[in-house]
Amino acid sequence: MSVAKQKNKQVKKWIIISVLAVVASYFILLVSSVGNGIAYYPIAYLHCGKRPVIANNFATSNTYYKSNDSGYGPNILTHPDDYYCTEQEARAAGFQRSLTK
């Protein structure tokens, strides 16, 4: 086998290992309590077909953020977020819009 073929085979091996590591890390985030807010964000995005409304009840604030709000973004280390496709769904679930717009 030529040196170029061996190098190509080795590169493919590392790409496969890297992809498997990323997928395994993502599934660990999904099932753990740390980081699951950010892990579920892509699922909510695909479900809604757009950036979802993010709601959380950290410190019993029961607030939600729309995609153009300054506080918008999934929580990485705090309580898990709830995701809604519309602002009306978030309000119906008992959340109120954050004052930081």
User: How many angstroms separate the most distant Cα atoms in the chain?
Assistant: 65
Instruction: Reduce the DSSP state of residue 78 to 3 states and report it.
Output: coil
pTM, to two decimals? 0.64
Q: Rounded to an integer, what distance in angstroms lies between the CA atom of residue 90 and that of residue 93?
A: 5
User: pLDDT tens, 29-80?
Assistant: 666 655 566 778 888 999 999 999 999 887 768 899 999 898 888 776 656 6
User: pLDDT tens, 13-34?
Assistant: 999 999 999 988 877 766 665 5
Q: Rounded to an integer, what distance in angstroms lies between the CA atom of residue 73 and that of residue 66?
A: 9
Q: Give the domain ranges of the chain.
A: 3-97
Element at 15 (helix H, strand E): helix 3-31
